[in-house]
Amino acid sequence: MNRTYDPAEEFQDRSFPKAGVDQSDAYWRQPARPAGGGSYFSSTRYAANVRAASGGQVRLVGGSRCGLARFVTNRVSGERFIVQELASLYTASDTVPQYSASGRLIQVVAVSQGEVYLAEPGDTIWVIADNITGETPPLNVTGVVFSAQNNQKLWFVDGTNYVWYNPVNGTVNLWTLTAGTLPEDEDGNKARLICTWRGRTVLSGLLLDPQNIFFSAVSDPNDFDYSPAEESQTQAVALNLSDLGLIGEPVMSLCPCGDDVLLVFCSSSVFALRGDPAAGGQVDRVSDSIGSVWGVPWAKDAAGWVYFFSNRTGIYKMAPTGTSPPVKISSAIDQYLQDLDTGTTHVRMAWDDRFETLHVFLTDLREPTATRHLAYEAPNERRPGAWWFDAFKNEDFDPLCCCTLDGNEPENRVVLIGSWDGYVRFFDRTATTDDRFDIESEVWIGPMLTQNMDEILLKNLQAVLAEGSGDVTYSVHVGRSAQEAFESEPFLDGTWQAGRGLSEAIQAAGHAIYVKLTATNPWQLEQIRARVSTTGMVRRQG
């Protein structure tokens, strides 16, 4: 018998929401964004642990993200203790254990329990650096530590100590000067911020001198003599002793952008220092309303564009030239960001060039706690920008530090994170778990509704998962409004498997309908086809 034709019936194709999470509008108005080739990608009210480029793939097949694996098998300090700092150090050597025609040696340097440790790609244990500072440990046992590379060495600040690591002999040394004195305020507080710019080691963050910035001599972090016998354009400089004067507000972060610009993030403004401060440099205000949170809440992509977490909790992007104001890119998720406590939340960022993705880690400084981090798949010719939530099932995995490792081998070009439990891990495109913990992925597709707010009937669903995809649990959520449907208990649920599935009868009626997908294994979604019909004006008025 032929099925009776229903003029109100239609088929709707629903794909993975490749435009990411968008919570900026009413539930029933879920925005779509333009992509390459004149197409549009849908967004979603909520999604966690998923990507448009799923599971380490470059092609746009939405699904679960790739997992975490340990960079080194054991904990940094051998005990369950927070990883305080993480940096990659590149040096040249004539005895390189990793094959490199250029003699390029890569080390990962970590701080835990105030001690400095090192490992090379492929190592199975962390090796403690030989501490010859005369202080045990050489750095603060707790709290945040920052570092910067200069002259193939790594220089550390923590507000109390000045030390440096020598990769040639594997030693941690007191930072003792050949000329001048290292910055210190009247109460003995030392610098807490550090970067390298124009060959100078740049320090700031003194508690009682927060608007000052101090620059070592060019190519010599051991020279902070601001009044040498013979003045030169390469000598050390302190802003308060120069023609530039103090920055207008307390300095929150330093971001070097090539040799031309040093971005100085303050509590509610951004300044650009252009040109060498000892050779006619100048300070320009880039923004008088947007600043940044404390520390190193920024990252740069391969083209040098700067992404940073602002004092107002928005995430912004700006050109490395510092010639135009920052542009907000987080409007879609501002509702979530506005609830963050920037006093207790430590923000770090890292750029993953392989997937053109920005990681934003938001970790509570007080103790491991349930939190959601962020990943931003940057726009390109194939996709719009997309925000996703990331959450680790084990709260001990939340990172307080991170770095991008640019190793010689493909598997060593990854983002590293140092976590509460003392391990260093990396995003491994082949990993199907987060270091043996399931990745609990979730995405909401919809809402399905009509332009005139008619009641609709979802008759059937048919899914196509990628070949080799793991199983996905789907559930249907129905309500008299899109918000009610999103917050409702499942009308029914089921399981989809790899490949083209059968059309499944649903028979769910409401003014708005969502389909939620969840899984704890890797999966990819190609397409969902829904057969729906409206129930007409009478039901709409009821």
Q: How much is the pLDDT for 413?
A: 87
Residue 54's pLDDT band (cuts 50, 70, 90): confident
Quick: pLDDT tens for 417-464.
999 999 999 999 999 999 999 999 999 999 998 877 789 999 999 999
Nearest to 288 by CA among 304, 260, 265, 305: 265
Q: Phi and psi of 521, rounded to 5°?
A: -130, 165
Does a cis peptide bond (omega within 30 degrees of 0) precede residue 490?
no
**Would you list the DSSP string of 516-537?**
EEEESS--BEEEEEEEEEE-HH
Q: How much is the pLDDT for 71?
A: 96
Q: Are 152 and 105 in contact (CB under 8 A)?
A: no
Pairing of strands 492-496, 472-479: antiparallel
Residue 265's pLDDT band (cuts 50, 70, 90): very high
**Would you list the DSSP string of 336-392?**
HHTT--TTTEEEEEEEETTTTEEEEEEEESSS-----EEEEE--BTTB--EEEEE--
Q: What is the three-class DSSP state of 245? A: coil
Instruction: Tell whether the model's pLDDT for residue 541 goes beyond 50.
Output: no
First and final C-alpha spacing in the chain: 33
Instruction: Tell whether the model's pLDDT for residue 196 goes beyond 50.
Output: yes
The residues near 382 (Cβ < 8 Å, ≥ 6 apart) are 35, 36, 60
Q: Phi and psi of 41, rounded to 5°?
A: -110, 140
Q: How much is the pLDDT for 162?
A: 98
Quick: pLDDT tens for 314-350.
999 999 999 999 999 999 999 999 999 999 999 999 9
Residue 5's pLDDT band (cuts 50, 70, 90): very low
- Give the max Cα distance, the chain: 102
The residues near 4 (Cβ < 8 Å, ≥ 6 apart) are none
Which amino acid appears at position 43 of this protein?
Answer: S
Residues in the chain: 542
Q: Which helix (H) or strand (E) holds 541?
A: helix 536-541
**pTM score:** 0.94
Q: Are 38 and 539 in contact (CB under 8 A)?
A: no
Instruction: Tell whether the model's pLDDT for residue 33 goes beyond 60.
Output: yes
**Cα gap 176→309, rounded to integer Å:** 34
User: Rounded mean pLDDT of 376-398?
Assistant: 94
Instruction: Tell whether the model's pLDDT for residue 58 goes beyond 70.
Output: no
Residue bearing tokens 């082949």: 430
Quick: pLDDT tens for 68-123.
999 999 999 999 999 999 999 988 765 545 455 666 788 999 999 999 999 998 89
Q: Phi and psi of 336, rounded to 5°?
A: -75, -45
**Cα gap 482→521, rounded to integer Å:** 29
Q: How much is the pLDDT for 280?
A: 83
Q: How much is the pLDDT for 1?
A: 43
User: Rounded mean pLDDT of 253-268?
Assistant: 95
Nearest to 244 by CA among 216, 267, 274, 266: 274
Token representation of residue 535: 């129930």
Quick: pLDDT tens for 520-537.
999 999 999 999 998 654
Delineate the domains of the chain, giving CATH numbers in brackets: 9-65+441-541 (2.60.120), 71-428 (2.130.10.10)
